[in-house]
Amino acid sequence: MQDQLKELAIALYDIGAVKFGEFITKVGLKTPVYFDLRVMIAFPQIMSKLSKALWQLSNTQIDTTQLCGVPYTALPLATLISTEYNIPMLIKRKEAKNYGTKKLIEGNFKSGDHCIIIEDVITSGSSVLETVNALKEEGLIVTEVLVVIDREQGGRKNLEDKGIKVRSLYDVTLLMNYLLDYGKVTQEIVKDVASYLKSCQTSFASLTENVVNKRLETPFSIRANQTKNAVAFKLFQLMEAKQSTLCLAADLTKTNSILELIELAGPHIVILKIHVDIIEDFSSNFVKRLKELAKENEFLIMEDRKFADIGNTVLLQYKKGIYKIAEWADIITVHPVAGPAIIDGLQSALNGITEPRAIFLVAEMSAKNALTTGDYVQKALSISKESDMVIGLVCQSNIISDLGMLQLTPGVKLYNNCDNLGQQYNTPESVVNSGADVAVVGRGIIEATDQLATVLEYKKQLWTAYKKRLLR
């Protein structure tokens, strides 16, 4: 077995599956050594030998009834093991499909089946754990993962703390020793890698915390350059220029009332949010004046439509009808309940629209006992990554790690309370500390005796909380 492992180690190096230099791993860590086992699909003999060696690690005392390769690099290895040893195979999708059976796990299985996971490389073990959790939700038993390379950065401990036994062909130290013996690397490279491994360990908790905190501790001026959407770029710039993160929810039913409120608050807000379908005297003249005020006072217009239907329907709702929302709203809100196809429908509605447009996906709601929890939130986060039109999430908690994405949080008042219809409110400081980049304030301003003074107070408290957040 040792001779076989040495031979495979050299082969992996020769085909470029092991690289040295300066790289960034999937979990955002800098590394002097990088493993790219995807190249093995161009070398079937090496891939075949690797899969056979990997299967020799399995615990033959366990009655294995299923295999599951972590997508995507490990899938060819799992497939070869499945066909060679006649063991049924499962595939975990990156996300549940939004048509047909809507399965996340594909294959022929039953609750109680024992499944072994196949993985190419583990760093923190997060990808393996995601697969384990998905399989367990289907009633499968998972206690073991077979890994080609353990990067020795905490992944083994993280998984074994969760009850998953890790069996690997190589750890980095062993692999480096093999390469050194055959003159593929120098002693200096071996020492550099060893030093790196010692100083750079991961855990699920610290990894998540560090990535998310990076967003909270990064100024808007820097984050602006991380977005791929022109509307988001403009919003970041507006927030810096106006020293405001205030979104005014003008949820009023008369156009004159909305316009009067805008003329008062416009210089101090970055987004104006309306519900166009509650306006009783809507007209094209109102839209014209709304756009004029937005240009004069430098704020973006958001129609809080919360689109939530199939692709063709949302296309028509966005582009057609009496409102023609796509023609004037910089930003819209969308429920991801219909799956990724809803984004496709909305994008299709923009044919002929020359101005940039953007979406906030509603991942969490501020209503008491809302159903937007758990797996729904994670799937909303996943969908948000599929289109540059999505610039952020409407949510109550700090779940975004992407510097270019924004968190929009509704339900903000100067004092914590709750209305009699289940709307829960939090203070400006608390929502900013919970990740909010933009805070939505409606009735707290609309119902105030001195609306301008109240606008200025919200603006001040929100900006002060943001500046404090950068220093944490």
Q: Which residues are catalytic?
A: 306
How far apart CA 275 and CA 388 sit, in angstroms, is: 24
SS (H, E, C) 250-307: CCCCCHHHHHHHHHHHHHHCCEEEECHHHCCCCCHHHHHHHHHHHHHHCCEEEEEEEE
Torsion sign, CA atoms 193, 34, 399, 404: positive
How far apart CA 435 and CA 449 sit, in angstroms, is: 30
Strands 438-441 and 246-249: parallel
User: In Å, how far from its chain's centre is CA 444?
Assistant: 31
Instruction: Locate 44 and state its tokens.
Output: 């079937």
Nearest to 461, CA basis, from 438, 436, 427: 427
Q: Bridge partners of 208?
A: none
Q: Answer for the pair 130, 124: CB distance below 8 angstroms, yes or no.
A: no
**CA max distance for the chain:** 82
Strands 424-425 and 417-418: antiparallel
How far apart CA 209 and CA 217 sit, in angstroms, is: 12
94: Cβ–Cβ under 8 A, 6 or more apart, which residues? 71, 382
Q: Answer for the pair 105, 138: CB distance below 8 angstroms, yes or no.
A: yes
Q: Bridge partners of 379?
A: none
Instruction: Locate 354 and state its tokens.
Output: 């020359």
User: In Å, how far from its chain's centre is CA 239?
Assistant: 23
